[in-house]
Amino acid sequence: MKNLRGFTLIELIITMAIAVVLLSIAVPSFTTMIRNNRVTTLANEFITTINLARSEAIRRGTTITVSATSGNTAWHNGWSMTPAASSTVLRQTPALPSGNTLIASAATPSISFDSLGRASNLSQVASTQDERTFTLCNSNTTTGREIKILFTGRPTITTITTCP
């Protein structure tokens, strides 16, 4: 009969110790990555609504408005998309999960897009008035996303390293 041999207790303890060390290094990195991915997902959801409103305004030939549910600059309470000539809600987004904030930099309770896809309620003056900035942050991470909607109606997104 052959001699069958398995792991010794010392080999098992050393393997477990190496696994614990590797996990203690990896878990904090994964937690940060997951939080950053959640912020990116929320920013993309907002951008999707903006792009949909812009394309619907062009397709329908009418003004489409994206409004904060709370009616002020606290967009993290949710937002909705409606045509100007109707009270029909085309898209409703619920409040963001707890710990996330989406704040407009100026008093911006809504953004409207005209039939050419331009943000019609923004000024054409070549200053900071020709865009609206939204800051998306999570209370558990230091990075966030800054979303700018230009007068042309195009949104841009950048990563910021400090949240207000």
Q: For residues 67 and 74, give the distance between their C-alpha atoms in angstroms, rounded to a whole number.
A: 11
Question: Quick one: pLDDT at residue 62?
Answer: 92
Angstrom distance (rounded) from CA 104 to CA 147:
9
Residue 72 confidence (pLDDT)? 75
Distance from C-alpha of 126 to C-alpha of 129, rounded to nearest angstrom: 7
User: pLDDT at position 15, please?
Assistant: 94
User: Among residues 148, 73, 151, 146, which one has the least CA distance to residue 112?
Assistant: 151
Kindly report the CA angle at 128 between 122 and 131, in degrees rounded to 5? 40
Q: In this structure, which long-range contacts are made by residues 119-124, counting pairs with CB atoms below 8 Å and at least 24 apart in sequence?
A: 119/149, 119/150, 119/151, 119/152, 119/153, 120/63, 122/149, 122/151, 123/151, 124/151
Q: Which of 130, 129, 73, 128 is nearest to 104 (CA)?
A: 73
Q: Which of 50, 65, 38 is nearest to 145 (CA)?
A: 38
For each of the chain's 164 residues, which pLDDT tens digit applies?
Answer: 567 677 788 999 999 999 999 988 888 778 888 888 999 999 999 999 999 999 999 999 999 999 998 877 789 999 999 998 788 899 999 999 988 999 888 778 889 999 999 987 765 444 445 788 899 998 887 789 999 998 888 999 999 988 87
Query: CB burial class (10 A; 0-12, 13-18, 19+) of residue 146?
Result: middle
pLDDT of residue 124: 47
User: From the centroid of its chain, how far is CA 113?
Assistant: 20
